A and B are shown apart, each in its own frame.
Chain A
Amino acid sequence: MLLAPAAIGAATWFVTQVPQDTAVDAPFEIGGAVGETVHLGYADLVVTDVRVAEQIAGDGVAQAGGVFVVVDAVWQASDRTIAVGGAELVDSRERVHAATDRSGCATATTAVPAYRQRISYCFDVPPDALDGAQLRLGRGGDGEEGAFQRRDAVAVVGLGLGLDRVPGEEAGADAAPIEVHGPAPVVRTGTDGQEDA
């Protein structure tokens, strides 16, 4: 009889001691780099390219308030269709930057099994956010403090950017506006892993 209250008390104490937002609810971060495949269990993600410019051109031309970071990525779902949203760029100062839909950029997509879904995410960020920037992506949305990615796998991909990519600096960013497109037509993957088209 005494065990039940003791167990409840112990469980209550444990729950109050554990910081839930970080220890219980936090997503599982899986690191990667540009060109690497990040295996998330529910999908594979590859960041294929990262470009920086002051303008992007898709559905009209958009001028950055800071600089545009355009991240080209490919999603492939594992065994069921997933919605991918809440793309974030996190800089070295822990500031979080959201993707924009300006000029036809995509902020979310749907990935299906056996198809490779190409997408370009666009972030308008201050130049000092380039150094050490990481892309953070997972299924669902970010919500408050990643509310919809709790206890799920999230890719954290280093973008390999530095201040030398700021437009006007010596190495320079892309001089011309970057052409962007929304989610591209899907490309089916054959049984041998090769693309059919």
Chain B
Amino acid sequence: MKHASSAAPGLIGVARNVFAALGTTGRVIAGLAAAVLAATPFGAWNAVANDAMALTADTPVDVGPYTVTIEKVVSAKALGDVRALDPEDRLLIVVAQVTNTSDRPANAQQLTDIVPAPVGGGVVDTGGMPVPDSAGPGERPAPDRYNIADAGELDVINPGVTYRVALVWNQAGDARPAEVRVDLAGLTWIEEGFAGLDDEYWLPADEVTHSGMFDVEPPRSEAATGPDA
């Protein structure tokens, strides 16, 4: 009695047989799919941002109801009466001009969705934990926001009004970044929400639309003497 030489080809054998049965086009597609699959653990599906548009200083960008112009990034021990939660830490400050270009009032809280914490700046969360550079826009800590003209907080930004604002994060005391990456994340207009329960608002998309490197101005004392002085 003759026995079968092998009871089953096994997973690799099946894959080999299927691949052999594919035409040239099929093999190319299968190869690309396998490459993407293999790259998945390394961020192949991350929302960031190779196709994000370039962001440079003093260039207006339209985001949701706003036009946002990033002026500069500053590291400081204090901003007026504002100090870091930990006395050893510093403040990382993004200075920007914002104008509401829509015809409805906008909630200034949205600025914290539009400008995520800069990447590579040593930002720490309110618990003092470092924020990984790989954190997505929605995963980074929200800044405090101040109207530079009066050091007060903004609650609403009305149509046609421009403010120069400071967006402020806690920065690790030993961080000395020469430059950071500043991202802008988009907002999506929801005309009619699910079942009409919540309509007409801007929803954070948590997707980086603009990105650029900015020099970090050091604290004035270090600018005069050097950070290691």
A residues at B contact (CB < 8 Å): 55, 60-63, 65-66, 93-103, 123-126, 128-129, 144-145
Contacts and interface: CB of A to CB of B under 8 A. Distances in A.
A45 B105 CA distance: 24
A100 B200 contact: no
23 contacts: A55-B150, A62-B150, A65-B149, A65-B157, A65-B161, A93-B103, A95-B159, A96-B104, A98-B105, A101-B155, A102-B155, A103-B152, A124-B158, A124-B161, A126-B160, A126-B161, A128-B160, A129-B159, A129-B160, A144-B200, A144-B201, A145-B199, A145-B200
A128 B162 CA distance: 13
A90 to B, nearest CB: 10
B49 interface: no
Contacts of B157: 65
A106 to B, nearest CB: 12
Interface in B56-77: none
B154 interface: yes
Contacts of B147: 62-63, 65
Contacts of B159: 95-97, 126, 129
B161 A102 contact: no
Interface string B162-176: 110000000000000
B14 interface: no
A99 B105 CA distance: 9
B94 to A, nearest CB: 18
Interface size class for chain B? Answer: 20 to 34
Contacts of A94: 103
B178 interface: no
A66 B149 contact: no
B154 A102 contact: yes
Interface string B103-128: 11100000000000000000000000
Given A93-B103, A97-B105, A100-B155, A125 B160 contact: yes
Contacts of A97: 105, 158-159
Nearest to B148: A63
Max chain B Cβ within 10 angstroms of own Cβ: one of A65, A95, A123, A129: A65
Given A97-B158, A97-B159, A126-B161, A144 B105 contact: no
Contact of B152 (A62, A98, A123): A62
A103 B153 CA distance: 9
B156 interface: yes
Nearest to B107: A98
Interface in B187-212: 198-201
A62 B198 CA distance: 33
A68 B60 CA distance: 25
Contacts of B201: 144
A65 B162 contact: yes
B58 to A, nearest CB: 19
Nearest to A101: B155
B154 A95 contact: no
A129 to B, nearest CB: 7
A96 B201 CA distance: 15
Contacts of B200: 144-145
B158 A123 contact: yes
B158 A98 contact: yes
